[in-house]
Amino acid sequence: MTIFKLIMNKIFFSLVILICSINSNAEEIKPLPENIESYQTSNFLNYLEKAAQETRKEAENGNAEAQYALGNIYASGLGVKQDDLQAVIWWKKAASQGNPKAETSLGNMYLQGRGGLWNSFIEAMKLWESAAAKNDSLAQLQLAVSYRNGRIASEQNFELGLEWLIKSAEQGNIDAQSYLGHSYLTGQGVEKNYVKALKWLTEAANGGHSDAQYHLGMMYFTGTGVQENKKIAKVWLKKAVQQGNEMALIFYPNNE
């Protein structure tokens, strides 16, 4: 299966599992096809449309999880026509009930100025702070990036950024784990610490993060912070290559 199809499988199945889990009539929907090839030859489109309809019913009844899921459906265009404006409408409804994932998604839309919203780092930060306080790992990561990079709505603050980054990583967010591990590896905004770099890059690499797999592979290849081990290095570099990681694709073919 190609990398594209693997990604599409993950997107489709994760979203459909979510929208089915929050509607009471999910048992009426036929089982999912086993792979993305079936998407082209089965009733999968009908499945998505049915799931979207059932999710809308729950959302209109005030179910915050359904409202969040319906926003995702409109944002992705699965089972409906893609519509950022509708996505924002339903995320706002869910966020008004305190749904942290909806708050994070709204913050992202403010950041990009999409869905009828103006571009506002200030509004984005407010929403991320609310969601992060409720332990949403993606919001915590967004705050970490904002404080470390010194986005418009926040002064550069490496210490605060590191706090949020660690919280996100500890919850298993592989993007945060990779970012944190690379920060310790390079000393970006934090004192170099190869032990911590190895820990977090390994966590993220095991979770399938291709950048972490590449950096972990290079640690073993060059003996940076670990005993040099070309065999282990190539295992991780190959995994990164299989996911289409550009850095690994450049390096690995010359080091078979």
Token reading at 233: 């290095």
Mean pLDDT, each 10-residue run in order, the chain (256 residues): 41 50 44 48 73 93 96 91 96 97 96 93 95 97 91 76 97 97 95 98 97 97 96 95 92 67
Let me know whether 72 and 131 are in one domain: no
Let me know whether 183 and 235 are in one domain: yes
Q: Of 123, 140, 171, which one is at a domain's C-terminal end?
A: 171
CB count, 10 Å around CB of 22?
A: 19
pLDDT reported for residue 254? 58
User: Contact at 8 Å (CB) between 232 and 198?
Assistant: no
Handedness of CA 140, 144, 145, 146 (dihedral sign): positive
pLDDT reported for residue 14? 52
Question: Which domain covers residue 246, as residue numbers?
Answer: 173-256
CB count, 10 Å around CB of 50?
A: 18
Structurally, the chain folds into a number of domains equal to 3
Of 56, 70, 46, nearest in space to 25 by CA: 56
Rounded Cα distance between 92 and 103, Å, is 8
Of 225, 222, 214, 179, nearest in space to 200 by CA: 179
pLDDT reported for residue 123? 95
pLDDT reported for residue 18? 55
Residue 249 is part of a domain; what is its CATH number? 1.25.40.10
pLDDT reported for residue 164? 97
pLDDT reported for residue 234? 94
For the whole model, what pTM was predicted? 0.81
pLDDT reported for residue 252? 78
